[in-house]
Structure 1
Amino acid sequence: MHPTRRLRPWTTSSLLVAARLLAATLAVAMVALAAERARAQQSEEPDVHFSRIGTGPTGGTYFPMGGLIANAISNPPGSRPCDRGGSCGVPGLIAAAVSTNGSVANVEALEARTVDLALVQADVGFWAWKGEGIFSGREPFAGLRALAYLYPESIHLVARADSDIRTLADLRGKRVSIGEEKSGTLVEARLILNAFGLKTTDIEPSYLRLGPSADKLAPGDLDAFFFVGGAPVQAVTDLAQATPVRLIPLSGAMAEKLTGIFPYMTRNTIPANTYPGQSAAVPTLAVGAVLLTTDAMPEDRAYRIARSLWHPVSLDLYRRGHPGGGLLDPRHAMENTGVPLHDGAARYYDEMKALAAEGTGTQPAP
């Protein structure tokens, strides 16, 4: 028999070598595991998409409401989950509101594809889609699509409280801002003046943005101005706090006639105390604000945007974020949009109607 071979004891140096080999092996394994997890996470992360939302002047309603909508539909990679108090928007979507001249400019931007979404007056969208009215002579924008009706936009006619302007007829011979070029305000101002028997030649017209209009009215360099926006309009509130103003009613037979001719125009009331010094409700007219896109938007993205737009968290955001935010109501989202609904948005609303019929009243699952 061979003599029993005695094992050599571990020396300090050999223990150090073994420990280093084990540490190196573990490090390689951990790096490989981390890489695998990163690849898995990357495969689960949605593609990032940046969207610009055309709005309006910064002192109006479109710009702040567009900012709230951008917040509601955005969900950047790495955001906290919706059910944990995080973003309830479209995964991977990063939206931003941009100030513009208003509705007409926004339609043109959608056609030029410089924005993906836009807030537009329902009538302006309708005429662009048809290639008629203010867009007469242009090719119909056949690809224009709606994602939702948002809220009614009140037509404001503002004068100084110490002026002799009490009715629209009193504008004759006065200095009146009727809105800047390519704005929805200019479209409505011309329509209303004509309906009430006035032409632009019967007044001294100015074509100003909301801010400059308010700035000129305060010292008396302007007698009145038109603006179309969801009440309260911040620039009008700021003006009324510094200079007493009067809202001129738009009512009577001519207002009734307008609502009968144009299905997108409705009777409206600006409630008492909407603006400083306004003690009584003021009857006026309104058109709908709609969120538009084009048929180039993928159906699934349009579906997800519509779903995020009306999520309960989004509705709360609108109410907290703007005095008129409570006007946004998903029950009216398909009404009076002026242009056809996007297929993706229509699919979402069909699902919501089905859920409502079942009595669940919940959002479709993501």
Structure 2
Amino acid sequence: MTTDITRRTLLRGTAAAAFALSAPRFALAQAPDFLTIGGGPSGGVFGIVGTAVANQLSAIFPATIIDVQPGGSGPNLLRVRDGKADLGITSANNALDAWNGRDPATPEAPVQNARGLMTIMQSAIQIWVDARSDIHSLEDLRGKQVSAGQPGQTSWLTFENLLAAAGMTIADIEADGGKLHPLSWSESHEALSNGQLDAVMWLSLWPHPTVLQNETVRPMRALSFDPAVLEKFVADHGAGFEPVTLPAGLFGGQEEPAQTLGTNTILFAGAEMSDETAYAIVKQLWENREELYTAHSLLRYMTPETVGQGMVVPVHPGARKYFEEQGITVSDSKLDA
């Protein structure tokens, strides 16, 4: 008889073995054979952070085969759900939608095994324009050349919902010669920097290095949204979002603060991961956070005040145990684990 060995059964097996062995051998025994991390596209923030996490974990799991896969907020949730990844990076709003059987999941296959490990960064809804542009609101995007990622991606769907909150549709953008272009992140920003696009919308970390790099060509500015539009967005589509103010000076052309909505970026694991492994992962990453900061400046958002907050999904018991030992407050989830 052949047994189908999956990553989940390996995690369960190593956890069971750990309990059976004496304390001096415990740390080595609990190490999983494999750890697959869902990151992001090569060169992107999620990819860089995923690699930095892998480098840290190789120090405590030297015999473990650690793999970082390109992915994204939605794909990472699906991979952990299906046992194809053990850890992933995602946005709290995506995790909540997937838990409830909405995009990126479906009602027939929700993602309800996601368990938060730590909040590492914050993303915000942002529309970037040349600071000298006459675009100051969603209404001003009518007839303009715009990118919001590609159909089906989180940013595209967020843009559709943002437009709906303002009483607009994609058809309004594409009136009078406008166009919503289905471009990748790199294509979008290249086109924005060379003037082929008037605006780029993304649910993105801030201040994103790519946007700062664009300022070598032209000063950048993020739009500020009407409070009534933001309120309607939250009421209709905004589970997992909260008000965020992008400060003046964030970008070279940002003379005034911009009002928008944000969501936390979290590192999460599957519920099948043992408490001991989750505890060891969080301990290693938190106690070596200064090294993580050097991997990407946006990781400096990870502080004692933020690291245990706003993960939306249930916090993994192993992570909760470590944070409580350190006196770090952990927020509770409203979801049933």
TM superposition score normalised by structure 2: 0.78
Matched with 2:69 is: 98
Task: Work out the CA distance in 1 between the residues paired with 2:159 and 2:190.
Answer: 19
Q: Secondary structure at the match of 2:216?
A: helix
Task: Work out the CA distance in 1 between the residues paired with 2:145 and 2:200.
Answer: 8
**What's the CA shift for 1:133?**
5.5
Identity %: 27
Contact 1:131 1:140 in 2 (8 A): yes
Give the stretch that moved more between structures: 183-192 or 145-154: 183-192
**What's the CA shift for 1:148?**
1.7
Matched with 2:197 is: 222
Give the stretch that moved more between structures: 205-214 or 238-247: 238-247
Give the stretch that moved more between structures: 153-162 or 270-279: 270-279
Matched with 2:311 is: 337
Task: Work out the CA distance in 2 between the residues paired with 1:276 and 1:51.
Answer: 41
Matched with 1:16 is: none
Among residues 130, 140, 162, which one is paired with 1:170 in the alignment? 140
Contact 1:107 1:125 in 2 (8 A): yes
Matched with 2:259 is: 283
Q: Secondary structure at the match of 1:135?
A: coil
Matched, 1:309 2:279: no
Matched with 2:51 is: 67
Task: Work out the CA distance in 1 between the residues paired with 2:268 and 2:169.
Answer: 31
Inter-CA distance 252–59: structure 2 relative to 1 (3 Å threshold): farther
Inter-CA distance 110–134: structure 2 relative to 1 (3 Å threshold): closer
Equivalent positions of 1:97-246 (< 5 A) are 97-100=68-71, 102-132=72-102, 135-181=105-151, 183-203=153-173, 204-246=179-221
TM superposition score normalised by structure 1: 0.72
Q: Secondary structure at the match of 2:89?
A: strand
Task: Work out the CA distance in 2 between the residues paired with 1:182 and 1:91.
Answer: 38
Matched with 2:268 is: 292
Q: Secondary structure at the match of 2:293?
A: helix
Task: Work out the CA distance in 2 between the residues paired with 1:227 and 1:45.
Answer: 42
Unaligned runs of 5+ in 1: 1-40, 76-88, 357-366
Task: Work out the CA distance in 2 between the residues paired with 1:325 and 1:42.
Answer: 33
Task: Work out the CA distance in 2 between the residues paired with 1:98 and 1:339.
Answer: 22
**What's the CA shift for 1:213?**
0.2
Task: Work out the CA distance in 2 between the residues paired with 1:107 and 1:43.
Answer: 30
**What's the CA shift for 1:286?**
0.8
Q: Secondary structure at the match of 1:74?
A: helix
**Amino acid in the other structure paired with 2:277:** R
**Amino acid in the other structure paired with 1:175:** Q
Inter-CA distance 235–186: structure 2 relative to 1 (3 Å threshold): same
Task: Work out the CA distance in 2 between the residues paired with 1:278 and 1:240.
Answer: 11
Task: Work out the CA distance in 2 between the residues paired with 1:93 and 1:279.
Answer: 49
Inter-CA distance 239–182: structure 2 relative to 1 (3 Å threshold): same
Inter-CA distance 134–44: structure 2 relative to 1 (3 Å threshold): closer
Contact 1:241 1:276 in 2 (8 A): no
- Residue deviations 1:219-238, cap 9 Å, x none? 33222111222212121111
**What's the CA shift for 1:277?**
3.8
Task: Work out the CA distance in 2 between the residues paired with 1:98 and 1:300.
Answer: 24
Matched with 2:39 is: 55
Inter-CA distance 96–183: structure 2 relative to 1 (3 Å threshold): farther
**What's the CA shift for 1:96?**
4.6
**What's the CA shift for 1:299?**
2.2
Among residues 266, 269, 272, which one is paired with 2:242 in the alignment? 266
Task: Work out the CA distance in 1 between the residues paired with 2:188 and 2:289.
Answer: 32
Inter-CA distance 57–45: structure 2 relative to 1 (3 Å threshold): closer
**What's the CA shift for 1:209?**
1.9
Task: Work out the CA distance in 1 between the residues paired with 2:118 and 2:26.
Answer: 32
Inter-CA distance 351–42: structure 2 relative to 1 (3 Å threshold): closer
Inter-CA distance 157–58: structure 2 relative to 1 (3 Å threshold): farther
Task: Work out the CA distance in 2 between the residues paired with 1:344 and 1:147.
Answer: 8
Inter-CA distance 187–350: structure 2 relative to 1 (3 Å threshold): farther
**What's the CA shift for 1:328?**
0.7
The number of aligned residues is 299
| Higher Cα radius of gyration | 1
